[in-house]
Amino acid sequence: MAGIEGSPGSSMHGVTGREPVHAFSVASPIVPTDTTAKFDLPVDSEHKAKKFKLFSLANPHMRTFHLSWISFFTCFVSTFAAAPLVPIIRDNLNLTKSDIGNAGVASVSGSIFSRLVMGAVCDLLGPRYGCAFLVMLSAPTVFCMSLVSSAGGYVAVRFMIGFSLATFVSCQYWMSTMFNSKIIGTVNGTAAGWGNMGGGATQLIMPLLYDIIKKTGSTPFTAWRIAFFIPGWLHIIMGILVMTLGQDLPDGNLSALQKKGEVAKDQFGRVLWYAVTNYRTWIFVLLYGYSMGVELSTDNVIAEYFYDRFDLKLHLAGIIAATFGMANLLARPFGGFASDYSARYFGMRGRLWTLWILQTLGGVFCLLLGRADSLPLAVAFMIIFSIGAQAACGATFGVIPFVSRRSLGVISGLAGAGGNFGSGLTQLLFFSTSKYTTEMGLEYMGIMIICCTLPVMLVHFPQWGSMFLPPSKKVSEEHYYTAEYTEEEVQKGMHHNSLKFAENSRSERGNRIASAPTPPNATPNYV
């Protein structure tokens, strides 16, 4: 189930956080422990950890986890660091609403490309240097913020800082070298959620730093510039920690990673083809654009919104804005859990309904947030909106692993890019012009979420059904997953991993799983 080392998209394995086995540890009979290895955690034959011990810093597995998610968190902090300080920056740089909106779009657009490149960088240099390079080369861009003196400079610097969000890829890649594939889902899901929290934490940190610096005697227009040094230093500190304390593999040897003979057992072209021609891929790209995408957009506008609409002090607006992003700590895992729970009774149809309900709920409360005239109501609606949107992110990756086995990595990557693209588009449409006030922008964003979530009703798995249609009796899981290989490839036996997956995925039928017979034409030799 780990996929072949180096095969296209294998660096994205575990990104989903929702692969069928989801646990904090995997017991010995399933994956045998290598008893000769002297690590703090039980390891498998590749010396990947079989157990996920959250509060440990043991070298190398848990240390990697913490170095990795904190680096990702740091990049989120610096990408959204400007957002809570916009009320000060807009006066200093004489920004118009379109400047602010364009900067927001720029901050999420850069990473669409950098995430695509990052996979290759990790393959070339290893995840440790991939992470260190990105974090330390983006430190100068964070320091550049204190030099900015015009709208153009502001947009450019936010664009460059945004590249650092590609640490997501290095984070997931690095952990897949350290953790067994049976628990990689939980590990990567936790890391992704905790990294995303950075977008919330920054709304708290930056106004606080600004206030402290002002108290020491700086004028406002200098204080915010000094405040940006702190995220910059965090980049440098994390980069150095990653380089000195981190290692690429459990055994510490980078060159072994590159010497692995089993390079690309699958062809990237075919993997890409099956990802792109599966209509479900595009529906999930759209959906993720309106769950993760709106989360990123809201991170960019919410502090300024509360500051302006309710006349709050900067640090109070920051605290409220922070609760939006910090909900990721629990909301995203909750979405995945809700997806798994509904799948127990209703299978894939349950997962699709859960996703639709959570995301639509998020959209409704986004709409209500824009309408709310009083502060307590606005905060309440914002919190429910955040839970809906972030749980929907988790639930999306509850379904994506089943869309394709062969092209899982590429589809996950496309969905991720869709998130950033959705964010950029939404900010461009609703938050960049004076045509709409921010409250109108939130209302329209809510309506757009509701509309763009409707296509999930079109997602139909022949073997499991869709939201409104039952499964067709003739198609089995094996049919669906084998259809991704041509006759030739089936002859060569390339589809065996998919068959194994197909058998495991029978749980997506829901209650009827006990009585599901093995289809007669499934190849038996994958046992």
Partner 1 sequence: MAINGVIVATILLSCLTATCYGITFSSLQRSLEVEASVKADQVLKAGEAKITVSWKVNATYSAGTESSYKTVKVQLCYAPISQKDRGWRKTVDILKKDKTCQHTIVERPYSASNNTVTYTVKRDVPTATYFIRAYVFNAAGEEVGYGQTTNAGKSTNLFSIEGVTGRHVSLDIAAACFSAFSVISLFGFFFMEKRKAKASN
Nearest C-alpha neighbor of 32 from the set 22, 19, 46: 46
- Distance, in Å, from the CA atom of 105 to the CA atom of 102, rounded to the nearest integer, reads 5
Report if residue 52 touches partner 1, rule: CB under 8 A: no
| CB neighbours of residue 212 within 10 Å | 13
Nearer to partner 1, 53 or 90 (CB): 90
What are the backbone dihedrals phi and psi of residue 43, each rounded to the nearest 5 degrees, phi first?
-125, 165
- Distance, in Å, from the CA atom of 265 to the CA atom of 512, rounded to the nearest integer, reads 35
Tell me the window of 180-188, 213-221, 314-322, 418-426 that interacts with partner 1 (CB under 8 A): 213-221
Which residues, numbered 242-281, are part of the site for partner 1 (CB under 8 A)?
243, 255
Q: How far is the CB of 224 from partner 1 (least distance, A)?
A: 7
Tell me the window of 158-166, 239-247, 286-294, 356-364 that interacts with partner 1 (CB under 8 A): 239-247
Contact 416, 15 (CB under 8 A): yes
CA 102 vs. chain centroid, Å, equals: 23
Q: Which two tokens stand for residue 136?
A: 């330390």
Tell me, what DSSP letter sits at residue 470? P
Nearest C-alpha neighbor of 2 from the set 247, 272, 262: 262
Nearer to partner 1, 221 or 468 (CB): 221
| Binding letters toward partner 1, positions 134-153, x by CB under 8 A | --xx-xx--xx-xx-x----
Report if residue 219 touches partner 1, rule: CB under 8 A: yes
Nearer to partner 1, 68 or 412 (CB): 68
Q: How far is the CB of 462 from partner 1 (least distance, A)?
A: 50
**Among 90, 265, 371, 460, interactor with partner 1 by CB under 8 A:** 90
**Among 233, 273, 282, 310, interactor with partner 1 by CB under 8 A:** 233
Tell me the window of 49-57, 152-160, 200-208, 215-223 that interacts with partner 1 (CB under 8 A): 215-223
Task: Provide the total of helices (H) and of strands (E) in the chain, helices listed first.
Answer: 22, 0
Q: 324 CB contacts (<8 Å, ≥6 apart)?
A: 200, 203, 298, 299, 302, 382, 383, 385, 386
Report if residue 177 touches partner 1, rule: CB under 8 A: no
Q: How far is the CB of 137 from partner 1 (least distance, A)?
A: 7
Report if residue 308 touches partner 1, rule: CB under 8 A: yes
Report if residue 240 touches partner 1, rule: CB under 8 A: yes
Nearest C-alpha neighbor of 134 from the set 158, 105, 109, 111: 111
Which residues, numbered 419-478, are part of the site for partner 1 (CB under 8 A)?
434, 437-438
Q: How far is the CB of 94 from partner 1 (least distance, A)?
A: 5
Q: How far is the CB of 62 from partner 1 (least distance, A)?
A: 23
Q: How far is the CB of 16 from partner 1 (least distance, A)?
A: 31
Tell me the window of 10-18, 40-48, 222-230, 352-360 that interacts with partner 1 (CB under 8 A): 222-230
Tell me the window of 177-185, 200-208, 234-242, 330-338 that interacts with partner 1 (CB under 8 A): 234-242
Tell me the window of 38-46, 177-185, 214-222, 345-353 that interacts with partner 1 (CB under 8 A): 214-222
* Burial group, residue 216, by CB count within 10 angstroms (0-12, 13-18, 19+): exposed
Nearer to partner 1, 20 or 87 (CB): 87
Report if residue 37 touches partner 1, rule: CB under 8 A: no
**Among 91, 252, 267, 451, interactor with partner 1 by CB under 8 A:** 91
Report if residue 92 touches partner 1, rule: CB under 8 A: yes
Nearest C-alpha neighbor of 186 from the set 101, 28, 32, 69: 69
Q: First CA to last CA across the chain, in angstroms?
A: 13
Instruction: Report helix angle 408-430 to 268-276, nearest 10.
Output: 50
SS3 assignment for 441-452: HHHHHHHHHHHH
Per-residue CA distances from 357 to 388, 511, 522 (Å): 9, 21, 36
Report if residue 232 touches partner 1, rule: CB under 8 A: yes
What are the backbone dihedrals phi and psi of residue 25, each rounded to the nearest 5 degrees, phi first?
-160, 160
DSSP letters of 123-150? HHH-HHHHHHHHHHHHHHHHHHGGG--S
Q: 360 CB contacts (<8 Å, ≥6 apart)?
A: 388, 449, 450, 453
Give me the residues that bind partner 1 (CB under 8 A), please.
Answer: 87, 90-92, 94, 96-98, 129, 132-133, 136-137, 139-140, 143-144, 146-147, 149, 219-222, 224-226, 229, 232-233, 235-236, 239-240, 243, 255, 308, 434, 437-438
